[in-house]
Each structure stands twice: as C-alpha cells, then as structure tokens.
Amino acid sequence: MNLSEDPSDRLIDSLLREQRRGHPDEALLREINRGLDVAKTQMLHPGSARKRNYVAAAAVLAFLCLIGLSWSAIQRAIEKSRGFEAARKVEQERHAGVLKRERQDLEAKIQTAKEGPSLSPRDDKQVLSNREAVEEPVVPQPAETVDSEEEGLNLRFVAVEKEESPGAIFAHDPDGKTGEPGRLIEPRAYLADTGRINFKGSKIVLTSSKDPESLTNPSSVLASSYVGQSSGRGVMLLLPGTGKRGDPPAQLLFVDDRFSEFPAGSTLLVNASTKDIRFILEKDQLDCPSGEQVIIKDPPVNKIGMTPVRGLFRKDEEWRIFFSALWPQPGPNGRALQVCFDGRSPEVMIMGIRENLAVTHASDKTSPAEAVAKEDKDDGKPEVVVNGEVARAAEDPGKDLARLAFVGSAATKWYVQFGFESEGKWSPRLTGMTSLGKRLQNRISALKMLAPGSVFFEDGDMAGCFKFNAIVEREIVDARTGLKRTAKIAQYEDLRPGFRGRFYESISGLPEADLEKAAYQDPAAAFEFFPEGGGKGRFEVQLGERFSLPPGIAQPRYLLKSMDARSVTLEYKDQSGQTKTSTLSLK
C-alpha cells in the first residue's frame, strides 16, 4: 500500500514533517476538513438527494400531461369543425332538393295552365306527384269565415235579458217602402242563423204591431236605433230600457258581426252599460269604456286552457267588482260575445253568448233542411267543455242546481304588508296563497303612492278590492319579545261583494315570520258540477261572490249567500223573476 494513500499514514507523516519544519501541514488540514463537511451533510440530510430526484420526475410528468391535454383539445376542436361542416353540407343538399322540387312543381303548374284543364293521364299523375312532394296536408276549415257580399243589412236579434215577454215584436224599416208592414221577429238568448231579416235603411224601429202606423204611436214603440251602415251582417242586441219617463221600454244596440270585424276564435266585449268597465284577464288589464266594443283575439289562459276573468265597474272614482268567472276559449270554430249592461243588483250585469260557426254559417254549404237539423242538434246556446264534455246552461236555474255538489270548505290567505309610507301616503305590498296553491302577489310603486281615499290595487291580483283610509300611530306589544314599541299602522277597508264593510290593518315592521299568524282569510266553497254529457268539473266560489252554471259561461245567476263547514246557501232568481234560495249539504 502506498503510504500517501492511507489517511492515517499521511497524518503520521505530516506530524513528523511538522516536527522537522516547525509549522503544520496546512494543505492536509484543508483536505481533512472538506471530507468532514461532506460526511456531516450526508448524515444530517440523507434524503435530500432523493427528494431532488422526485421533484424533477414530477415536473417531467406534469409537462407530459399538459402536452397530452392540449393535444386532446385540439383533436376535439378538429372533430367539431368537421361535424359542423358535414351538417352544413347536409342542410345545403336538403335546401337544394326542396328548391328543385318547388321548381318542378312550378313548371308543372305552368304547363298545366298552358295546356288547359284536360291533361293526359301521365301528365296528371306527374303533377300530382310533384304536389305531394312539396305541399303540406290541407286542414279543412270547419266553417265559412269569409264575409259574403249581400245587398242591404242582414240582421239577427238577440235578447240580452227578458224579465217578462213584451208580446209580439215587429221590426220596421222606416227608410223602406212606404206603407210596408213590420216583420215579426223572435229575439233569442243565443246566436242562431235562423230569423235573419234584411234591411235597406239606416234606422230600425221595433213596435208591438205590424201596422206601419204604429211608428207614429209612442205607446207602441218598443225600441229604435240607428245602424250606421247599410250593408253587411250584424246582430241587434235587445237590452232593458233606461227606466226613465218617456223612454221606450227597451234599447237596441248594433254589433257588426262581419268576420273582418269579429273574426272566428275571438271574444267581443260590449259595454252597453252607463259605467266604465275594466276586465282583468289572468294578469292582463283591459278597459272598455261605456258604449264601447273591444275585441280579444288571443286571451291569456291558465293550465286547464281557460281564462280567469274578473270584471270591475267604476263608480265614485272607485273600481268595484261585479263579476268573476272562468271563460272557455271559443276555438277556431266559434266566437264569444260578452255583453255588459245596467242592472239593479248588482249594478252591472254581464251575459255571455257563444256562437258555433259550423251551425250558424253552414247554410251556404248545406241544404236548408240540413242546416235546420244541425241547429236542432246544436242551437248555438252558450256552452262550455268540462273534461271533454259539452255542458249547457239550463233554461230553469233550479235544474242546474240538481247537478251541483258542495264538496268542502276552502280559504284564501292574504296579507297586505306595510311597505313604505311618506307624509301620509302609502305604498303597500300584497302577499297570499289560494287554497289551490296559487300565489297572490301585487304592489303599489313608491312612485305612485296611495293618498287616503284611494282604491287599490290598480290591476293584477285583488285589483280594486280595497280602499286606503289613513295612517295612524299606536303603541303595540311585540308578541315575541314582550317589549312595547310605537308602530305606524295603515288602515283600509274591503270593497268586495260579500266582504264590504270589513276593516283591516297593516302594521309596519312586522317580521316575515309573523305573516302567517297575521294573515286574513277569505272563506270559499268548493263545488263539483256534473254536466249532462258526463264528467265533472271542480271550481271554488268565495263567500258573497256570484257565479254561473255551468261555471264560466252566461250570466252569473247564483250568489253564495252564506256558508259553514257543513252546508252552503245559494240565492238565485227563477224564470218568473222570484228570488229563491237553495241549501246544499256537504257531500
């Protein structure tokens, strides 16, 4: 062994040399110190080298993953672009095919026009095949909805309300031939195609005699009206008289029922009353001033395909409810007429009339005998569909009550939250829930705050139901903490029929958790109606509210006068005008 390679020998040699030289071997000492430092580091951090290796490996792996993800995204983008391109090519090819077939069809029609109506069998088949390739199936129209050209004015007469029969009624045409006798008319409570009379003048007079001399006898004149047009088709509404001394016992109102003015599938609102009317259709508002007519072509509908409607009339600067019902849709083969007129109780009455166009306008497609047979089967009386079955209003109100069942009590919960107040003016908010789960919500904007005496809400849920009276301050006790506090309280009253005279309060600072306890409840009765055609329909009526049977059509003739948990009492007028009551026990 080389002694210089053994550290121990080198140390001994170094010591011997130091003795000879008299100073230490500095080079050897530096080498020994360097070896000791390395050993110490390895002893204190034995895994540092391995950690450095792991970090390097992880960095390499992350880099490879990033490259892989980027490549996958690029591949997907390429595939998506190819898919779009393929879809575009398919659409272009389809469009080109449609254009080609349409061009072929047009060429075939031009060829048909040139050659005349007689085609060879081969050409006839070719034209037919082209039409089948491009035309949609033709849907047959159930009724004629095009206005026909007629000379003079073709009129039907409808009695809106006949409390008692005035006897025979004769229609006179003062502008017609001199000395021409009046023609007998029979005003009906529905729209039918029979009984039309043609007039050529601009004025119509109804008298109790066919003698033309009755035109000059005021005691014989029943009603008169200027029409305003001398051709086309129309409906003359025979309305109750004004009741004023010297006025005729009845009134006439002309309704233009040409399809250009009153199209199929629409509802025409006629306000023949002396008051302005407002209809709330679902959440839409529609105003109909006195003497005006408003057409509804696309009314909003609920989940069962009917339109919830409430009617209000203006009196003393207040909107008051007089009508609430569900309106069925006329459908493409029908039209509906809703006529409002002055009454005694309530002050405004409404009568709904539905026309079946397949019957009333079928005479130009069928023989008179077939038209009469259709009218005997469906005479155009108001109708509503309940579970697919047609229900009709009975002539005697008592007959419909035999098909009505009281099935339970219900209640609508609501509360008018305080909202905001400033200098005695109020901006409330409505929250509530019907027994059927429908949420009630409404509010008055802070920009339109209510002054004392104002009626609210303007539209939407519970429109025109309340009158704001005043804001007062009062000391109250918090039910949860037992502490007293001074609160502002809004006082208001109910204007609804059956609830008029009830007073309410809205407390400022009422916690949301206390709304359920503070809420008011409107009692209601749940009914089931069983039409003659089968099935049944369920509906609810609030206490004091009028309704019709079948529900949602014709004039609301029944009043929910009182109720408890076991029975309800209904009030109505029979055919003779006598007030009757009927009690239904819980089924």
Q: Bigger pLDDT: 285 or 246? A: 285
Give phi and psi for 131, each to the nearest 5: -65, -40
The residues facing 284 across adjacent strands are: 281
Q: Which of 114-118, 261-265, 421-425 has the highest mean pLDDT?
A: 421-425
Enclosing H/E stretch for 252: strand 250-256
DSSP tag of 262 = S
Separation between Cα atoms, residue 324 and residue 306, nearest integer Å? 13
- Residue 285 CB neighbours (<10 A): 13
> Stretch 569-575: mean pLDDT, rounded?
88
Work out the mean pLDDT of the chain and round it to a whole number.
75
Indicate if the pLDDT at residue 515 is higher than 90: no
Of the chain, the percentage scoring pLDDT greater than 90 comes to 18
- Scanning 116-162, the segments in alpha helix (DSSP H) are 121-134
For residue 175, the model assigns a pLDDT of: 75
Q: Which of 51-60, 301-310, 476-485 has the lowest mean pLDDT?
A: 51-60
262-357 fold: Immunoglobulin-like (2.60.40)
Indicate if the pLDDT at residue 177 is higher than 60: yes
Separation between Cα atoms, residue 271 and residue 257, nearest integer Å? 16
Q: Within 13 Å and on the Cβ side, how many CA atoms surround 488? A: 16
For residue 29, the model assigns a pLDDT of: 64
For residue 421, the model assigns a pLDDT of: 92
Separation between Cα atoms, residue 155 and residue 139, nearest integer Å? 31
DSSP reduced 3-state for 89: helix
Contact between residue 418 and residue 405 where contact means Cβ atoms under 8 Å apart = no
Indicate if the pLDDT at residue 83 is higher than 90: no
Q: Which are the contacts of 53, defined by CB distance < 8 A and separation ≥ 6? A: none
Q: With bands split at pLDDT 50, 70 and 90, how would you rate the model's confidence at 456?
A: very high
DSSP reduced 3-state for 305: coil
Query: 180 in the Ramachandran plot: left (φ > 0), alpha (ψ -120 to 50) or beta?
Result: beta
Contact between residue 419 and residue 444 where contact means Cβ atoms under 8 Å apart = yes
Separation between Cα atoms, residue 116 and residue 424, nearest integer Å? 84
DSSP reduced 3-state for 153: strand
Q: Bigger pLDDT: 356 or 518? A: 518
Q: Which of 114-128, 201-215, 392-406, 464-478 has the highest mean pLDDT?
A: 464-478
Indicate if the pLDDT at residue 394 is higher than 60: no
Separation between Cα atoms, residue 529 and residue 378, nearest integer Å? 21
Place of tokens 């609920």: 302
Q: Which are the contacts of 382, defined by CB distance < 8 A and separation ≥ 6? A: 190, 352, 353, 354, 392, 393, 553, 554
Enclosing H/E stretch for 233: strand 232-240
Indicate if the pLDDT at residue 95 is higher than 90: no
Say if residue 325 is exposed, middle or buried (CB neighbours under 10 Å; 0-12, 13-18, 19+): buried
The residue type of 161 is E
Contact between residue 294 and residue 269 where contact means Cβ atoms under 8 Å apart = yes
Of the chain, the percentage scoring pLDDT greater than 70 comes to 66
Indicate if the pLDDT at residue 116 is higher than 60: no
Indicate if the pLDDT at residue 104 is higher than 80: no
The per-residue DSSP string of 319-383 comes to EEEEEEEEEEP--TTEEEEEEEEE-SSSSEEEEEEEEEHHHHT-TTTS-HHHHHHHHHH-----E
Separation between Cα atoms, residue 517 and residue 509, nearest integer Å? 15
Q: Which are the contacts of 537, defined by CB distance < 8 A and separation ≥ 6? A: 386, 387, 391, 528, 529, 531, 550, 551
Q: What is the pLDDT of residues 409-455, one digit of tens each?
A: 888 899 999 999 999 999 999 999 887 677 889 999 888 899 999 99
Q: Which of 7-11, 20-24, 65-69 has the highest mean pLDDT?
A: 65-69
**Vertex 401 angle, CA 396 and 407, to 5°:** 165
Indicate if the pLDDT at residue 372 is higher than 50: no
Indicate if the pLDDT at residue 358 is higher than 70: no
Q: What is the pLDDT of residues 229-257, one digit of tens each?
A: 667 788 889 988 888 888 888 889 888 88
What residue ranges do the domains of the chain occupy?
Answer: 152-258, 262-357, 399-409+525-585, 416-428+442-514
Indicate if the pLDDT at residue 133 is higher than 50: no
Separation between Cα atoms, residue 492 and residue 471, nearest integer Å? 9
Separation between Cα atoms, residue 411 and residue 544, nearest integer Å? 13
For residue 450, the model assigns a pLDDT of: 94
> Stretch 453-475: mean pLDDT, rounded?
90
Indicate if the pLDDT at residue 509 is higher than 50: yes
Q: With bands split at pLDDT 50, 70 and 90, how would you rate the model's confidence at 4?
A: very low
For residue 120, give both structure tokens: 């060879």
Q: First-to-last CA distance in the chain?
A: 122
Segments of 460-578 assigned E as strands: 466-477, 484-494, 503-507, 520-529, 537-542, 546-547, 558-563, 567-573
DSSP reduced 3-state for 297: coil
